[in-house]
Structure 1
Amino acid sequence: MGKILSFGELLLRICPDIEGNWLKENSLPFYVGGAELNVATALALWNLPSAYLTALPENMLSEQIVKYLQEKKVDTSSIIFQGNRIGTYYLPKGKDLKNAGVIYDRNYSSFSELQPKTIDWDAVFSGVSWFHFSAICPAINQNIAEVCEEALKAASEKNIFISLDLNYRAKLWKYGKQPIEIMPKLALYCDLIMGNIWAANQMLGTDLDQHLLEAETKENYLEHAAKTSEAVLKAYPKCKYVANTFRFGEIGIEYYTTVFTDGKLEVSEEYKAEKIIDKVGSGDCFMAGLIYGLYKKLPVKEALEFATAAAYGKLFIESDATNMTVEAVKRTIKNGQ
């Protein structure tokens, strides 16, 4: 098996507190992340051959970040250096976040200025057997959507396994296209599609059964997951696996997941907690866990349990990426919490 290449924008997450004390203290916590990078760093931590493709400006800050990633055993050899800035976003922390949403500062970033027909995909995909991206990439602008399609065509020609995370970011789809106009043609290339029943509806046009959703029961959600998964597999014949996550709660959490393959819905153990620390990156960790399990050719149910435990564990880690080892994830599975 070759390298697992994750493609997406590296972001700096800046976290002002909701009360505004950062102004008095002259201090802003920040984390290096981005959905696809969170996957890449998790896979590297779990000793898989993980590589990462993004675009960064050629300056001292980028040099430090690349060195940081290399120390985490992420292959950075495909990173493109161009443009003038690294994308950032602000996500407040504090007691009352109801009116405090994410603030993006990504316009004119090095990644957002990538152009079609400028990347040597033969070189990028050398030694690669798995390609991962998310719906965040084509949400940035039309050029990035075209770069994604270009990458998928090249990866498919080389029989590279392709995974897609249906991350929906309403604040990013601002260039005149809706997800439903872009995502279906990208999903046609994918072997594994992960998201939830609402994201699949928004991005791939699957139906939402309001009769099932009204009851808000686990049994109904699982029935809907099976229906949505079957619809995705029918619409996208190349796809072999459809994964759904279910995460409920604001302060606490109720969390379980599914994978549908070979006509069967596998359901994970359910995890509950009264309080969590950081939701950012949990879905990325689930995606990484699925990639880990399938790459290692684990039974599907075992891969699902690993991914679910890894995602749940990430909820108690204050950063974008996980720091849980394989052994720590397995302990979570054993303990059931």
Structure 2
Amino acid sequence: MHNPSHPQTRKHRCVFFGELLMRLSPPGHELPLQSPRMEVHFGGAEANVATSMAILGHDCAMVSALPDNVLGRACAGELRRHGVDTTHLHYAEGRMGLYFLSPGAMHRPSEVLYDRVDSVFARTGADAYDWSRLLADAQGLHLSGINLALGDATAQAALAAVQAAHKAGVPISFDCNFRSKLWGSRIEQAPALLSEIAAQADLIFGNDRDIALILGLDFPHADATDRFRAAGTAAFSAWPRLRRIAATGRHLHNVSDQALFGLMATRDRMLQTSTHALTGIVDRIGAGDAFAAGFLHGLARKMSDETTLDFAIAAACLKHAIPGDANLSCEADVLALMAQGGFEVKR
């Protein structure tokens, strides 16, 4: 059950821009079409963050483009069910972006197959979005590098959103979300386009590999913490506006048993959480989005940097126990994990 909205967080309005997707996956740990059934979930990088933040009590508005058909309306309805403002969605004739998830098990990794070429969102240009109106009264704009990968139309729309937010003084959080499969033949444009938004961001969600790609650098340190520290130093040097960079680190034992920790760098210091064991993972898709939502929640609630990072990694841990793309945990759930509230049945 979702917790009631918090009086301190309801005033924090954040706008999210990105593609909404329908996810199709076989039941359990079956291979695709091993049996003639598919389970359906709606999601998308920015939508997952919006959903989680709305559940945490924030005023979240989704900006995107959907097909004007039963699939698009069902997707919008799913967002509304969790408290996301969908009044700024654009509808047009066309197709829904899809992706197929083949869930992994043990030593067989999960695999994603995208089917989102020429979707309504991919065909919708920058002129469809009135950012001066969409960002009115906003305290934040969140978007990801996936917008840049989908084509020139969505890339220009994302850049227009960032320029409008910068002009209006709206803080920008940017998740690098580099997906090589989505960039395809445009992959050579990735560093320049990603850098164009990173240079305007106040907060970047990205690891050392993302920063190395964007800046054309190499961080050869053997230790993950040292690589992140070096990447943070390079990012702050390259982008004067940047205030924080945050990421998750992961130890992989197999598909079902892993360990997760959080990292954050500011211009003054670096923080790292303790490592959390994840055994019997249900669904890790969207864990990074859950981390981003938890982090943004901590900032909005004016938590300390340490508590913000701890809250974010706890939210990401909980996502691994929830099927679907979005983390549906409320604030009380996350705080209980942070307090090590135990695993007894809650009656």
TM over 0.5, shorter chain:
yes
What amino acid maps onto 1:180 in structure 2? P
Give the C-alpha shift of residue 93 in structure 1.
Answer: 2.3
What amino acid maps onto 1:149 in structure 2? L
Give the C-alpha shift of residue 64 in structure 1.
Answer: 2.7
**Partner of residue 3 from structure 1, selected from 13, 16, 41:** 13
In the alignment, is the contact (CA less than 8 A) between 1:271 and 1:336 conserved in 2? no
Provide the rounded CA distance (Å) in 1 between the counterparts of 2:12 and 2:323. 31
TM-score, normalization: structure 2? 0.89
The residue aligned with 1:216 is none
Provide the rounded CA distance (Å) in 2 between the counterparts of 1:137 and 1:229. 23
The residue aligned with 2:238 is 235
The residue aligned with 2:333 is 328
Q: For residues 147-175 of structure 1, what are the alpha-carbon distances to aligned partners after superposition, in whole Å with 9 as ceiling and x for unaligned? A: 11111000000000100111111100024
**Partner of residue 116 from structure 1, selected from 126, 135, 138:** 126
Give the C-alpha shift of residue 195 in structure 1.
Answer: 1.5
**Partner of residue 92 from structure 1, selected from 75, 84, 102:** 102
Q: For residues 229-260 of structure 1, what are the alpha-carbon distances to aligned partners after superposition, in whole Å with 9 as ceiling and x for unaligned? A: 11101101111001121012133111111111
Deviates further, 168-177 or 226-235: 168-177
The residue aligned with 1:147 is 157
For the structure 1 residues 202 and 83, does the alpha-carbon distance in structure 2 shift closer, same or farther, using more than 3 Å as the test? farther
For the structure 1 residues 237 and 97, does the alpha-carbon distance in structure 2 shift closer, same or farther, using more than 3 Å as the test? same
The residue aligned with 2:249 is 246
Provide the rounded CA distance (Å) in 2 between the counterparts of 1:110 and 1:336. 45
Give the C-alpha shift of residue 23 in structure 1.
Answer: 5.4
Deviates further, 223-232 or 5-14: 223-232
In the alignment, is the contact (CA less than 8 A) between 1:288 and 1:307 conserved in 2? yes
1:292 has 2:303 as partner: no
**Partner of residue 209 from structure 2, selected from 193, 198, 201:** 198
1:117 counterpart SS class: helix
1:256 has 2:261 as partner: yes
**Partner of residue 138 from structure 1, selected from 136, 148, 161:** 148
Give the C-alpha shift of residue 334 in structure 1.
Answer: 1.3
In the alignment, is the contact (CA less than 8 A) between 1:258 and 1:268 conserved in 2? yes
2:181 counterpart SS class: coil
Sequence identity (%) = 29
Q: For residues 247-276 of structure 1, what are the alpha-carbon distances to aligned partners after superposition, in whole Å with 9 as ceiling and x for unaligned? A: 121331111111111411011121013331
Provide the rounded CA distance (Å) in 2 between the counterparts of 1:229 and 1:20. 39
**Partner of residue 198 from structure 2, selected from 181, 187, 212:** 187
For the structure 1 residues 332 and 140, does the alpha-carbon distance in structure 2 shift closer, same or farther, using more than 3 Å as the test? same
In the alignment, is the contact (CA less than 8 A) between 1:310 and 1:329 conserved in 2? yes
1:176 counterpart SS class: helix
What amino acid maps onto 1:34 in structure 2? G
Q: For residues 250-306 of structure 1, what are the alpha-carbon distances to aligned partners after superposition, in whole Å with 9 as ceiling and x for unaligned? A: 331111111111411011121013331111000000001111001111111110000
The residue aligned with 2:308 is 303
Give the C-alpha shift of residue 129 in structure 1.
Answer: 1.4
Q: CA RMSD in A?
A: 1.9
In the alignment, is the contact (CA less than 8 A) between 2:104 and 2:110 conserved in 1? no
Provide the rounded CA distance (Å) in 1 between the counterparts of 2:59 and 2:37. 36
Provide the rounded CA distance (Å) in 2 between the counterparts of 1:20 and 1:177. 29
The residue aligned with 1:160 is 170
In the alignment, is the contact (CA less than 8 A) between 2:32 and 2:102 conserved in 1? no
For the structure 1 residues 316 and 181, does the alpha-carbon distance in structure 2 shift closer, same or farther, using more than 3 Å as the test? same
- Count residues in correspondence: 328
**Unpaired segments ≥5 residues, structure 1:** 214-219
In the alignment, is the contact (CA less than 8 A) between 1:2 and 1:127 conserved in 2? no
The residue aligned with 2:180 is 170
TM-score, normalization: structure 1? 0.92
In the alignment, is the contact (CA less than 8 A) between 2:62 and 2:88 conserved in 1? yes
